[in-house]
Structure 1
């Protein structure tokens, strides 16, 4: 951290400040202070470089200070090192140039510190400049406010609700200055005169300023004051609400819980030499009390070197009025406030997404926010609700889901190559090329932006751009000398080469990069101009992983040998993956080798996509959380309704989709195999059955029929899209041993396995052996 102790750094700091100083040896040569009451204070501050004398060799202690001069001295009182001072000056120069209209140049550096450390706000400085107050003598009560802020006690003054003053002229002190005057008096910075007056309207002289500064700096040094400037520190940190602090032989085990969720986030070991701060002043471990907020500062090795402690966080719900950069304008209890998100601020958008200020979308139109502030007034955490976020991609499919023309399901191929599925509700606004127009399948391959409600990812609006020409695919090669890129296009699996314009915007995983830094097999989305030249390239890693739960499984039709899995992620987003049975990925289920046909709705999965294709699937089956006996089975169009007597004697009824996983002894069974009297274990999520385990009884059905999805001639396996009694479809793995008879149903002629192909309709007689249906006779329809 770029903060040093105060008095020892002031001489060095003075060398980089705009104001010049006399040598320390000249501090005692001022002839006009030798009998002055403030002689010792003046000498201390001139030795520290806070003041300079006049050209005639005098100090002139009774000369009045302007507001600008007093603010400059307050800025130096903070005690920042030269590096931090310079960083702050550079950052705030544009703001000051605008606020001061290029005037007051000699105080730019000090005014920058005033803004960065909270001595002044931008509106304070603007008002002082526009009213001419900067060049007028400063009154004592105004100085009290600025000096308290420079001492890092401003937030404490703001929180005071009682500040009894014993000065005889206390009633003449401005209301907003009284808390600051009270603190300065309590801490021995100011005293009453011979009449016990504070004299709030008195213009501050150089002697009075030297006295107050000397006492203030001594107080800060004695209490180890250390400013906390988030944007000018780079240490790692952990923070949260203190659950417990257990000290043993000087070492403290500090347990923290999340400021956002309240969940436990772990324990941090604080070494005996850790420095603990409260109100920016050193304190003891007694400050580490349950319910308080703590930020643990970590060095480069991950060892805590300091802890910043706050009292319990101030929590309030506010209406969000607008967001400008990191500043959030809110209204709470009828009062407007500006809150700033810094690098320590924890942010939650909607009910699930968490991160820092970078996840906040200024255009999301958040309606409310739960704000959590520490005792320094810093925004520790903010939870936005009612807002929206955007996703973009290329439309790969459109399916109407009801009789309503506006109700549909769309699939977007994201710029990262992942296909995601979204349901478009009937109330969503849809525009095509800026005009209100319904979605249709003719918009396939168009660029689409969806705006989603953060709370549940409900689509609020759809914007389609058919004018822009986007292509997607996997990089085959890059020629940086000719400025060309060759990709294998996702739409047709053909290679295409594009010239890249000199002004093309190129990014990799969201970061700006160069064409020559893109790698073979990276997934890219390219925007082409009218000449089919690339004007934008967004590239992402060739390998991505997606975690979630299988919520849907559909089979290809006709000669299509693919299965599409829809995976629902934790935030509710649905991602689609196509798996080709002719070239299946590696599948691991419950830590054992498995195959694609064993994957079922309800399985927790991780899909790995490499070079645009699914290469690995890891699955975990759902755990049983209910047991019962089947009393009745009712066939429905889309599956079954199971009526059961649960193990506790209660009755229950569940609608079960045909895609739900059914197993016995870790072997796959069919849903149609269930019979009354069977004892089942159910994995239930809410009111939805996601998996069934048969604990007693085995189905011995001897016939399946359906359409061939794919024939693996090497393994003598048929993947069959079987039709159940209710008209729904299941995937059945049929083993064809050498003893099986294959016949043409129309001619009776004997056939071999290679006479069967994708799309053929067959009837298979045989019996289940666990997960596999063993064929004895196959009839080709």
Structure 2
């Protein structure tokens, strides 16, 4: 097995981690339209010109971070332990679950947790982000330390299961890192989620600011399946005042702009009319499937290169070297580099020597690294897995996905693509036909659903027959005591009884009282009774 070169030295984590927003006044490309004025009214009045401005607003558009009632974000303020936990839970796509959860976890300082945040702590406990030991010493209003946030993120992404203890870090303040958490720091540096500070320090006990927390959320965003449907990356195929069409290899989709869309172009606050065909773009969708945030870059100077990975450098000086024929190129990798495999974002540390990749770069920096089809990588073996449970969420907007809960209460989210076979009640259907509560079996390869077989919930109805249709497409129409009418298909599998005896549909009459068990609009059983003539 070829070795991956690991250079795990300190890299700037603070202000240098994200390029500063360079404008002090309106950018040169702004044209002063009404939409421009609307777009340039920032959501937070204290982030203009901040080094993490566009990251803060992008994370806000995704709902991961929120501001204060006075329209400020306070980026330099220390994030509290409670705030950090809430933000991580949101980034995992579990906010709805947190809002419904009741706090039953053994929290020592439970009275210090406001009612709105109690469910987030419970979900964090249920997901293993916080342990019972953590909660015994949990001080929600105390500043969150870098080492604590590193541990919580590692648990949230199950990265604590991938720790390589044999690798040693070269931080000046190694002795300040608890021995049992040395592996957590290693995995944080390997993945590029957290790095170091000038002078080869990690500063494990330094509190994290709200701006730095937003940057961490940006680095783990996209690695969480639940959030993929809210972010679309590609190139602009067309754009006008109301819509934008984004294309990427294999698909093209059109999206409407929301009324308060925020646009960034080459790091500067911009407007919709500044966007042009061919620009590289990332759009964030709101709950209505409309574009609420746009981050675009002029792709004129980009270069494409395809080949086999021959070297990977992690940590300080992170880069990837790719060889094609007799030509070999090295590309620097930073926090903005998107790495994708099978439609999912992955970490640099998850790449392997020998994989075939396509690299889009500018000035020697990799902007996008895409792992070629698994069939082209000889070292990869497709493993088929099967999951059974109940559908809890279906996302048919943008990056399509399905979330299920298994019998042990664990949630699983899988991508759905154009090749996914979807069966509902033994008939071919579309993803949008599936609903929460349906029983489901999902066949998966590399987190992508290849087959979804679902059964809709059975429902019971009672009433009086008001119409019957006989022939090739048979139906029965009933009216309930509430004067509601329902029509059901009657198939060859429908079991019919009249006064306790087996019967056919043509044995029934208008006026018979019936109890019907139905599924997805089709009658499974019809139990009819007739009054004596």
Q: With structure 1 as the length reference, what TM-score do the two structures score?
A: 0.30
TM-score using structure 2 length: 0.40
Between the two structures, name the one with larger relative contact order (CA 8 Å, sep ≥ 6): 2
Larger strand share, 1 or 2 = 1
